[in-house]
Structure 1
Amino acid sequence: MNAQRFGWEQLLPVQQWILENTLKVTPAEEDERPVKRTQDAKWAVNLAAARQFHAREGHLRVPRKHAEHLASADTLSGRQNATDEPVVVKLGTWLDNVRKRAGKLPEQRRAELDELGMRWS
């Protein structure tokens, strides 16, 4: 039902009517909708996971299937939220993907990973 509640605007009027009148489903309120993160915010969370792994392990040779557990994405991005929940970052997968796109990375992002001893090949 959440898909219908969050995508209410995309439903036909008859679909909205059926949901409201037969199933008692209403559109999601603004405060219920998930926060869409910008690419910069996603990068910051992934980089924080890389930094956490590096601080603990002393290297950035992360197994492909490794997932890093962070306290909260909102805390990392400087936002405080009543629903701060732990975040799991698929760090190994992310680093592999970053390596494959190294040529397209902005210089600053590449430098941030270089500081952690990123191996690019």
Structure 2
Amino acid sequence: MPSLTPTHRHQPGTSHHAREGHLHPARKHVELIDVNGGGEGEQEAVKLGAFVDNSRRRAAKLSPERRAALDKLGMRW
């Protein structure tokens, strides 16, 4: 995942969940996020599918806060 600011860190997963109703993207899924906010301007591609897959594999190493944030989005462990 690109180095996102703290306010953008959960944006790809949140966007995907809001649009699709789940957080089960395909491994190769790429989510485009608006870097500047407001819906216009520069977009950045985030490999959301790879991030979710890697997070599942490393679940034991995630902080409780990060795991709770992913749980809130419906992460399937």
2:70 corresponding residue in structure 1: 113
Structure 1 CA distance for aligned equivalents of residues 31 and 12 of structure 2: 6
Structure 2 CA distance for aligned equivalents of residues 102 and 44 of structure 1: 22
Alignment coverage as a number of residue pairs: 72
Matched, 1:50 2:13: yes
1:69 corresponding residue in structure 2: 32
Structure 1 segments unaligned to the other structure (5+ residues)? 1-36, 76-83
TM-score by length of 1: 0.54
How many percent of aligned residue pairs carry the same amino acid?
46
* Superposed displacement of residue 47, structure 1: 1.9
SS of structure 1 residue aligned to 2:10: helix
Q: Give the letter aligned to residue 112 of structure 1.
A: A
Structure 1 CA distance for aligned equivalents of residues 22 and 71 of structure 2: 11
Q: Greater helix share, 1 or 2?
A: 1
After superposing on structure 2, the runs of 4+ consecutive aligned residues of structure 1 that deviate more than 6 Å are none
| 8 Å CA contact retained: 1:62, 1:92 | yes
Q: Greater strand share, 1 or 2?
A: 2
Query: 1:1-121 alignment to 2 at 5 Å?
Result: 37=3, 41=5, 45-72=8-35, 75=37, 85-120=42-77
Structure of higher CA gyration radius: 1
TM-score by length of 2: 0.82
SS of structure 1 residue aligned to 2:65: helix
